[in-house]
Amino acid sequence: MTNAGEGHAPPAWAAHALGNVVVDGDTLAARVAELGRKITEDYSTDPPLLVGVLKGAMLFMSDLARSIELPVEVDFMAVSSYGTATSTSGVVRIVKDLDVDLKDRHVLVVEDIVDSGLTLNYLRRYLGARGPASLEVCALLLKEGEQRVTQSLKYVGFTIPSTFVVGYGLDVGERFRNLQGVYTYVGPESVDQ
Ligand code: IMP
């Protein structure tokens, strides 16, 4: 479901670099709350360990965790993909690993965006090898028709057109993560899509 929210102009400080709003802040908040309710139901007997993938999932993780009414635990890992600034090669380097043991845990990976799916594919194999009781994914955004790797995503916030986006945690060159909504990026830095 694509949400092209109209009438949500980007803030003045970022307007020069942004195109259309893809998902506005209010729509994001409503959907994150809905995902939280669904996760609360699905994991009612087995509260999950939420594994956030830094840095892109920082805002999503923070809002999602607060919308789940269960005693969840939270951990983070940081990965960096080899490739250009804006497209991944699928070779992933673990920059920060998890602090907790995954053995017999119900693990829910919280990811910002799935593009080619290569990063997630790598993470699944990496985390799956540590013996979790279950391993599922909650991705805020899924790019339409872009996946080079088949993924089964238990929870998806929004399916969006295949274009480079920023905001709500997503960046280009570390900027624009603090936008309340998700916008297409039309700024000066080259975007290799
Ligand atoms: P994938 O391995 O191609 O699925 O890429 C996943 C990672 O690339 C995400 O976790 C993001 O960090 C980054 N990424 C992919 N598309 C975008 C985008 O449109 N904006 C910002 N980051 C993106």
Each residue's pLDDT tens digit, 93-115? 899 999 999 999 999 999 999 99
Confidence grade of residue 150 (pLDDT, cut at 50, 70, 90): low
> In degrees rounded to 5, what are phi and psi of residue 62?
-65, -45
CA nearest to 99, candidates 139, 54, 62: 54
* Residue 191 in this model has a pLDDT that exceeds 60: no
CATH class for domain 31-163?
A: alpha beta
Please give the share of the chain, as a percent, with pLDDT higher than 70.
87
User: Mind listing the pLDDT tens digit for each residue in 22-34?
Assistant: 999 999 999 999 9
Q: 71 pLDDT exceeds 50?
A: yes
Computed over every residue of the chain, the mean pLDDT equals 90
Catalytic residues: 115
List the chain domain ranges. 31-163
- Residue 120: pLDDT over 80: yes
Pocket of ligand 1 (CB under 6 A): 56, 81, 88, 111-120, 164-166, 170
Band the pLDDT of 84: cuts 50, 70, 90. low
Q: Which atom of ligand 1 is nearest to the CA of 112?
A: 10
Q: How confident is the model at residue 139 (pLDDT cuts 50, 70, 90)?
A: very high
The per-residue b/e assignment along 85-114, b for 16 or more CB within 10 angstroms, e otherwise, is eeebeeebeeeeebeeebeebbbbbbbbbb
Least confident of 89-98, 108-117, 152-161: 89-98
N residues, the chain: 193
Name the pTM for this structure.
Answer: 0.91
> To test the ligand 1 pocket, which listed residue (59, 76, 84, 112) has its Cβ within 8 A of the most ligand atoms?
112
Segment 32-61 mean pLDDT = 97
Mutate to test the pocket of ligand 1, among 115, 126, 178 (most ligand atoms within 8 A of CB): 115
What is the structure's pLDDT at 2?
43
Contact between residue 105 and residue 130 where contact means Cβ atoms under 8 Å apart = no
